[in-house]
Structure 1
């Protein structure tokens, strides 16, 4: 019995669709995972820049919790960049170590996500020594603290030192988002921002719970440490108020009604945004995007950061 024309048409269409799907699948398999999406150059630069902060966070959290960094956990992501200076395992309680371990592995994913979208760059030289953090704290208070602040000494010191880091990256993602053109870049930045904001919220919550605790042996409260660090970042960023500590004058609190400041936000409780230039001024500790130092002794990597480093060298000549 010969098949009816309608049945033949259905069978033929089904076979054709299946063949097309198979061909598409083969095409993408041949394309390979290393092929990255082509984004506008401006988008590439803006999502490349935060790799500097992601490397910093990954190494600090991994070393603090586990005593080892990317070279042990995911060496392919470093692209041969130099190991960090002075990073070591912190003296943490089980709960804080668990939280920081989670943060560290999250940062590994962030680096991989960025490098899966754009080529990226190798890990820059990072100074994560106790001296590097002590310098930030001394600058925040405008005087040297004795003994020198050791971020690796205990829970409270490590939480205070961690307060210095994720929030800066958070403001960078907020600042970059409106300047992105591609939906792929916007989706990536939104995903990164969500977790970075979560990390900052966890750190602020843990510190807020201890806001009135005196940090030994300095006789200074936890909230005073956060306020001074935020004031320093505002000063170095040179772009007005974009940073707030845990206890603020009521006019800076939510709706101008409260001193508690578990999350930092503007008059509408929206996150502040920073430009790459502002971020470089802060993480270099110099207040100048052309002058490296601080956590980046040789400067940050990538198109944006290297442009300013080159400008700085030209000005010195």
Structure 2
């Protein structure tokens, strides 16, 4: 089990990096309600496809094909080797994401699904960057329950903090109501995933000599580094100085010093999901960039 001093080290490094790298595009952006909500499609599509394939071995094209609006199918996604109980949870999450897509489409209209890279290699690159060296064998999110839950840890939380950041900028009451209702479920999903990982926090992730808690801390560290706007992400075990009221090492819910949710802007989110630390440079899960007016506005003009 890692010592409290290890967790202190991880978070101090995270904060120092954010100071050294600066805070580019950390302020608000100018956009209307529709563009802000449609930006969320980037995460909703990602979550829907990853959960559907992980639980069922098939994606949105088999469940609700019109929702993709002609966008290309994801690359490399497949059924995960999940324990039965976890498999049912992920299946429920998958259907919830389908519902989220429907809610947005019927409320404001949809956008085509962007090309998504959900291949083992895409996740292997992410986890290598988080850990700081090439894992051997490469990390495979579909290998077993623990690997899949860690891969899940890398995705829904980004959508959650995006919704938290979006709500204050929405001008229409209907828009705020829609996003608040989506946020409630996204927060619940993240809490379940984090709880399942916390229960396994001191377990070694085979075949690596690293614990589940270490993986979550390193993924959070990477997202803080890529986001570039300070500490807005924490693993499932933290030093007291980061725990609720500075009284606990447990961190099932990631929150600030007043136990409020962190918020991220669209540029921060793009820097994270592209894995490049640059909202102008696609990659990671989005080899061709995200969809919608906000994400496309950062891409080079043809």
TM-score for the superposition, normalised by structure 2: 0.89
1:258-311 alpha-carbon deviations (Å, 9 max, x no partner)? 11111100000000000000000000000000000000000000000000013x
Instruction: Label 1:231 to 1:41 Cα distance change in 2 as closer, same or farther (>3 A).
Output: closer
Query: What secondary structure does 1:214 align onto?
Result: coil
Matches within 5 A, 1:123-162: 123-162=113-152
**What's the counterpart of residue 276 of structure 1?**
266
2:31 and 2:294 in contact (8 A); partners too: no
Is the 1:120–1:302 Cα contact (8 Å) retained in structure 2? Answer: no
1:121 and 2:107 correspond: no
Larger RCO: Structure 1 or Structure 2 (Cα < 8 Å, ≥ 6 residues apart)? Answer: 2
Q: Which residue of 1 aligns with 2:194?
A: 204
Aligned residues: 273
Structure 1 residue 240 corresponds to structure 2 residue 230: yes
Computing the radius of gyration over CA atoms, which structure comes out larger, 1 or 2? 1
What's the CA shift string for 1:50-94, capped at 9, x where partnerless?
A: 001000000000000000000000001001100000000011111
Aligned with 1:98 (options 88, 97, 102):
88
Q: 2:142 matched to 1:172?
A: no
Once the two structures are superposed, residues 127-146 of structure 1 have per-residue CA deviations (whole angstroms, 9 ceiling, x without a partner) of 00000011110000111000
Find 1:74's aligned residue among 53, 64, 73.
64
Alignment of 1:207-222 (within 5 A): 207-222=197-212
Distance 1:66 1:120 in 2: 24
Mapped to 1, the partners of 2:59 and 2:123 lie a distance apart of 18
| 1:3 aligned residue | none
Q: Quote the residue 2:43 is aligned against.
A: 53
Deviation at 1:156, TM superposition (A): 0.3
How far apart are 1:120 and its partner, in Å?
2.2
- Residue 200 of structure 1 deviates from its aligned partner by 0.1
Counterpart-to-counterpart distance in 2, 1:61 and 1:271: 24
Aligned runs of 1:13-32 on 2, under 5 Å?
A: none
Partner of 1:300: 290
Determine the structure 2 residue equivalent to 1:83: 73
> How far, CA to CA, are the matches of 2:122 and 2:31 in structure 1?
34
The structural deviation recorded for 1:41 is 6.4
Over residues 84-132 of structure 1, what are the superposed CA-to-partner deviations in whole Å (9 max), with x where a residue is unaligned?
A: 0000001111101100000000000001111111122110000000000
- Residue 231 (structure 1) aligned with residue 221 (structure 2): yes
1:187 corresponds to 2:177? yes
Equivalent residue number for residue 250 of structure 2? 260
C-alpha distance in structure 2 between counterparts of 1:123 and 1:254, whole Å? 38
Structure 1 portions without partners, runs of 5+: 1-39
Query: Quick one: distance in 2 between partners of 1:54 and 1:196?
Result: 10
Match of 1:6 in 2: none
Cα distance in structure 2, aligned partners of 1:183 and 1:275? 20
Give me the whole-angstrom Cα distance separating, in 2, the residues matched to 1:41 and 1:257.
Answer: 40
| 1:41–1:115 Cα change, 3 Å | farther
Correspondence 1:44 to 2:27: no
Aligned-partner Cα distance in 2 for 1:293–1:144: 18
Secondary structure of 2:233's counterpart equals coil
Structure 1's consecutive aligned runs of 4 or more residues displaced over 4 angstroms after TM superposition are none
